Every structure is written in C-alpha cells, then in structure tokens.
Amino acid sequence: MKVNVKNHEDNGASNFIGISIINGDRKISFLNYGARVCEWIVPDKDGKHEDILLGHEDPTDYLVHPYYFGAAIGRTAGRIRNGEAVIGSTPLKLTQNDGPHHLHGGSHGFDTLYFDHEIEEQEDRVSIIFNSTLDDMTDGYPGNLDIEIRYTYTEDDRLTIDYRITTDQETLVNPTNHMYFNLNGDLKDDILNHTVNFGNAEYGKVDEMVLPLGENGIIKSNEKTIAFRELVESPDPQFSQFNGLDHPFMMTEESVVLSTPNGRSIILESEDPVVVVFTSNDFNFSDATGRRFYPYCGLTLEAQMPPDDINMNPSSKTILPAGGTFAKRTVYQFNIQ
C-alpha cells in the first residue's frame, strides 16, 4: 500500500489537500475539507474498476453544492426541530439552516472545516487522522470541541472510521459520515437495482420536513433482501411524499448489506441504533467538470443516533458532559460476491 498527497494549487484551491491510498489496483481518496471521503475505486466481478462514491474532481465544487458528499457530519447529524433543544435546564437556540430547522450541525459544521491531517502507515493498512476544533457557541452549541476523525483502510478493502470528540462544556454530539454510494460505478446507472437487507425492517416515520413523528413503520416483505426500486416506487405515503427515501432504519441486524448485480457489495457495521438512508431523490445538477447528478444517482448509509433525538428521547445519548469524550466506530467493508 502507498499514499499520495496532493496540494490543490490550481483554480484558487490552495487550501485543499487530497490524500489517496493505493491498494494494488484499488484506490480510496480523502480531502481535508470536511474530512471527506471523495473517491473509492474498486473492481466488479468482471474486473472492471470504477468509482463507487459520488464526488467532485474539482474540490471547489464542494463549496458550491450543498449535499455533503463524503463529508464528516457534526456536531449533530440530521435535523433538530426549530433549531431548539434543552440540555439539563439550559435552552439552546441553534442555527436554522434548513428552513426553520437545524441540519447536520449548522452552517459551520464539520463539513465546512479544513482539517489538519497525519498519516500512519503499516504493512497492511494506512490511517489518515484528521483533527480540527469548533469554538464555544458555534452555530449555537456550547463548548469548545476537539475533533479527531481517523480513517483506516486495510488491504482487504475495509474502511474503518473512528471518531473521538472532547468538550469543555456540556453539549450535543451525534456525528456520522455522508458518503453516497453507487455500486454500479462511475454514475453510469441509478441505484434502483441495488438491494439491501431491509425486508421486514423497522424505520422511523417522518413528516414533510423530514422530522421524526415518533412512530415506526415496517418494510413488509417475504424476502430479507429487497430492491431499492421496490422501496422508492412504493405507494406508502412515507416514501411517496419524497419520491424516495430519507428515513432512519433501525439497526436490528449486526450489519447492513448493500449489493448490486455486478458483484460489488458494501457491508456497514455499526453500534449506532439507526442508519439514515437518503436516495438523492431531488438531484438535478452538474458540477464544474460537467459531471451530472440525477435523481437516485446515489444513496447514503449514515450510521448515527436518531435525528432530533434530543427532543424525542428524555434519556438521549447525544448529550456529551463537560470534560467528557465521545468515541464510536463505523466500518464499511467492500466485497465482491
């Protein structure tokens, strides 16, 4: 395995640093802006190598397009109703950056930070360690935050994300990663031919603003594995209101298995209680290189605590006490079936 580091000095992008890990004929790439994963090139069952993530060749596109491609998300993933929460007896008024609501940590979340980085290399793995800080009351959150996000990629194509976050005041923390997968490769087809082990799975119902209703639905199926076409085209009002998915699914299984007919699969392993799946229902734009992003061109697997958990759960685990350390691990394993 080897590592390439690129300083983007063209197009006024001097603050952007790209880091690629080369694993034989496979490659995964990161960007310091947003500590994001921006490329993952792997073969299909016929040996054809393609990128299975949505991303941009020109890093300045990440400043323009608001869909969080591959980014670290925090302080809190998902929406918080009306940007309001209470920690103990302290009311919080958070940035309202999604209509009247708060989304993905606000206007100055993890996705907007230029992270410092370190590289650790071993014979069978490489780790990229991104570090940054957020100041007290950024986007309305109390506490100075120290953020470490460690990506480790191994020879067997296993991507592990370790989060370590500390605070000097009681605050909210619920991070995730916002990679969009398309296992067809290189955006050549939509994700409706992907399958996932969501048969008879529970999901959290949401309102028209994608905020939780406090009740669950069930994906009724005779099979454990179900096609995204069946989910996206479902007459269920929960899905038809968005022409697709933007929902938290309960992690009752040890893993979520995403597959395609070309043999590629991703296995998500997490101790988080939910995985939020968004199927890029409303995409319709092109980036600076002319790459077009269209409806259902990708889907997310965002492992996290439930959205708006601080307002829905009296014992929410999204509260991090003063002097406390938050730590969690999420794994994405690529396989060829």
Q: Where are the domains of the chain?
A: 2-336
Residue 252 has pLDDT above 90, yes or no: no
Q: What is the pLDDT of residues 68-112, one digit of tens each?
A: 999 999 999 999 999 999 998 999 999 999 999 999 999 999 999
Cα(151)–Cα(160) distance, integer angstroms: 6
Query: Is the distance from CB of 106 to CB of 97 less than 8 angstroms?
Result: yes
Selected residue with higher pLDDT from 221 and 329? 329
Closest by CA position to 242, among listed 272, 267, 217, 206: 206
Mean of per-residue pLDDT scores for the chain: 96
> Phi and psi for 306 in degrees, rounded to 5?
-60, 145
- pLDDT given at position 254: 81
> With the CA atoms of 182, 185, 188 and 189 taken in that order, what torsion angle do they form, in degrees rounded to the nearest 10?
-40
Which secondary-structure segment (H or E) carries 315? none
Query: Is the distance from CB of 180 to CB of 301 less than 8 angstroms?
Result: no
Rg (alpha carbons) of the chain, rounded to whole number:
19
CATH topology (fold) of 2-336? Beta-galactosidase; Chain A, domain 5 (2.70.98)
Query: Over pLDDT 70: what percentage of the chain?
Result: 99
Q: Which of 26-30, 60-64, 142-146, 300-304 has the lowest mean pLDDT?
A: 60-64
The sign of the dihedral angle between the CA atoms of 133, 119, 124, 156 is positive
Q: Give the pLDDT band (50/70/90) at residue 66.
A: confident
